[in-house]
A and B are shown apart, each in its own frame.
Chain A
Amino acid sequence: EAQVTQNPRYLITVTGKKLTVTCSQNMNHEYMSWYRQDPGLGLRQIYYSMNVEVTDKGDVPEGYKVSRKEKRNFPLILESPSPNQTSLYFCASSSSGTASYGYTFGSGTRLTVV
């Protein structure tokens, strides 16, 4: 089944403790992206990647890092999480090489930073 897989689904952590949220897609998509969803704000782009070793900032990149060493994987790294990063995170991929034809989304990761 074609899908985007995120892990973990739920995560509670403490301020300052580094964490990684994994994302993997099995569709051979070049384009991948991370979004966060907050009530009243919709989804906002954190980072995106056009291909292996090609990443760039989205609208809200502060406090996040990403890497793209393999086409299928696009992990999101929070080096020193803070409470304002408590959110619902989605990984997405696209077949078009850009966002032009829409996304396939993962199931989401609900992160709580205390």
Chain B
Amino acid sequence: AQSVAQPEDQVNVAEGNPLTVKCTYSVSGNPYLFWYVQYPNRGLQFLLKYITGDNLVKGSYGFEAEFNKSQTSFHLKKPSALVSDSALYFCAVRGARSGGYNKLIFGAGTRLAVHP
């Protein structure tokens, strides 16, 4: 079955500290993985994606994510958190070939709270 798990409903971090938002996935074939961010009363904004190549992917706003095939994980990271990073973060994986690659499957979301 295809799925994405974000095991933490909320992550709290102090400003200036490193942050990690966890994501694991289950999908057949090579995974195409994505992170999106949602600010209050806004749509989802693309942060970064992994399709192939280097396991460390760099994205917008200083975020990066590390693809780990053996652990089927794609954790989002940032070396130094900002209060303005506080938002809802979604991990997603492309659906399987049997479904025609016709959807992204999303996790339930993780709320990141960065405290001054």
Q: A-side interface residues toward B, CB under 8 Å?
A: 4, 33, 35, 40-45, 48, 50, 56, 58-59, 90, 98-108
Contact = CB atoms under 8 A, between A and B. Distances in A.
B44 A105 contact: yes
A48 B106 contact: no
Given A99-B94, A100-B32, A41 B108 contact: yes
A86 to B, nearest CB: 17
Contacts of A107: 42-43
Given A41-B108, A42-B4, A98-B101, 6 more contacts: A43-B90, A43-B92, A44-B106, A90-B44, A99-B101, A105-B43
Contacts of A35: 106
14 contacts: A33-B103, A40-B108, A43-B90, A43-B92, A43-B106, A59-B103, A98-B101, A99-B103, A99-B104, A100-B101, A102-B49, A103-B46, A104-B46, A107-B43
Sort A-B residue pairs by CB-CB distance and give the 7 closest, nearest first.
A42-B106, A98-B101, A105-B43, A43-B106, A107-B43, A105-B44, A42-B108
A58 B95 CA distance: 11
Interface of B: 4, 32, 34, 36, 42-46, 49, 51, 90, 92, 94-95, 100-104, 106-109
Contacts of B94: 99-100
Given A43-B90, A90-B43, A100-B32, A58 B109 contact: no
A102 B43 contact: no
A52 B49 CA distance: 28
Contacts of A103: 44, 46, 104
A102 B108 contact: no
A19 B66 CA distance: 43
Contacts of A42: 4, 90, 106-109
A58 B102 CA distance: 9
A56 B102 contact: yes
Nearest to A104: B46
Given A43-B90, A90-B43, A102 B104 contact: yes
